[in-house]
Structure 1
Amino acid sequence: MTSILEFTSVSKTYSKRGQALQALDSVSFSIEEGEVFGFVGPNGAGKSTTIKILLDIISDYDGDVKLFGQSARQASSRQFVAYLPEAAALYEQFTPLDILKTALRMYGIKRADELDWCMYWLERFSVAGNAKRKIRQLSKGNVQRVALAHAMVVEPKLLVLDEPLSGLDPVGRKDVVDILQEYKQQGGAIFFTSHVLHDVERIADRFGFINQGRLLTTQSPRDLMAEHAKEFLVRYQSDSITEGQAVRPGEYEVQVSQQDLPQWLGRLNGEQGQLLEVKPLVSLEAVFFKMLEQHG
């Protein structure tokens, strides 16, 4: 696997009213090809500062940041990076079609099928019917869809998304999640922030939890929840063990405590049953608040 983004011991201090404010404190993480990395933390934790450093909006920091093996201080490192801010600032007098064509020209991309390519992405995000309407005439949700299409039309290798599902209805959220998962399967990498922790659980392969400028952990949501779970849902197949709820003939789900789990799994193995899944019964949100209490 090739590293798309690397932060190595990155620190940033602001001066506020003569006092030093530590925005980032020796933050290190990396993102690989085809990986979705969620960046989670309360307001003021350092998420926006991290994005600004990645994009070289902030350049006076300590440590090292690399994009595709190049220093992030070099403009060429962002040739294959697309960024979507939380509040997308699109030209209100432009149409969605204008916005996507402008994106291609800004990235120096020339396509013989420019019109068809732009319409393809507007269709993917269900805004093709508004292709020639002014941005100011669109709803917040449709503007967000146009902004996502704007990011995808340039075929980036890294998407940097700040609250990408903000303003979308449930149908829109599902559509976008499906498109992002397809993008990931094709090798694209995603760095995204979100206050909706359910989105992190659905999308992220790993996430970083940051608080007061310190990166407290980088793990998969499943691994972190397994660490904190006291109960697990076990799904299994067996002819002799029939505990819990029958899902279908010969297949069952049973709730088992963390303490009893090793013994229960040993029993299943001894009875020649088949383990299908072990899922921690705790939400990422619950773990999030627990970690805030521990490190607040």
Structure 2
Amino acid sequence: MKLACIALFLGGLGCSYAQTPAATPPASAAPAAAGRAPAVRSNEDEGVSIDRFLRRPEDQPVHLSHGTLLIQQILGPGDPDHPGAYGQVLQYRKNLATAKLLPGAQTPLETYPDSYFFYVKSGEGRLDDGKQMWDLKDGIAIMVPPSVPHRLVNTSDKPLEMIMLQWTAGPDAKKALIVRNSYALPWCEENAHWNNASHCIFGTADGLVQGERIYTVMLPPWSVSQPHSHPQGMEEVWTKLSPGTIPVLIGSELREMQQNSSYLVPPTGKTDHSNLNLSKDKTEWFLYIARSPVNPNAPPRPQGQGGGFAANPNLSRDTTAATIAGRPLR
């Protein structure tokens, strides 16, 4: 009953219970059809199969990347605007996957033609470019531009577990590794879509194309994000970082989202999405990866101020304190 009620609320239909029937308004009180917003149609009526856009890595075969990384794809390249294989929906990226480096293993020191992003979820290790090194632990984020040598080393007796993203870089890609501690970043957004608070990890200043960004996003206990849709050409992917399972609303249907699973918001302009945190004491965390169509006439994006509130001086997109300098490789 709770989830059904929440789903109706998010769809703008309100909630009623069988034991409390609503009063029937008089005929004279019926609203006129003229001027009313058109009814939101269901996923079935819109021809949107949302299960194509949400997938978990545990259901996929294991492949190799970087020589020794064990990866399981979550979402892969495809056409999100037309029917296709499940999970193959990314318009701008080549691969979103979990990546595991076993204890004592390391990848070769090599270069690759694509850009890579790694987010460390658990374990300990080391990153180096043949000259400098960085320690790896939970919350460390890595931007690897194309043709930059890099090597990952597991220095512990437990797997080094990460989220990995691969894509073709834009013309402004940097020429060196960028390493940041996501936990040391300032908050850059508050009350985005009602309740989201964000750490802005990488953006255009780090070589991404205009409209491209990578954040971690917090959803507080007992809260939901505002349902909204995205237009064609918008690629917004949510990956659940925190343990456990939550419900998510995609269009007219609810689905369960487990740790490490991801969904692309169907870019139909009509399919709303919302993350729901029904726990009263647990915070949910997500990795947010987005690329939006560039509108040269659009005003600058706000920093997520709450409705009607003055600019919050505590918000910042300054990544200086969180950027980790490399040490000479021993």
- Structure-1-length-normalised TM-score: 0.27
Q: Greater relative contact order (Cα 8 A, min sep 6): structure 1 or 2?
A: 1
Looking at secondary structure, tell me which structure has more helix per residue.
1
- Structure-2-length-normalised TM-score: 0.25
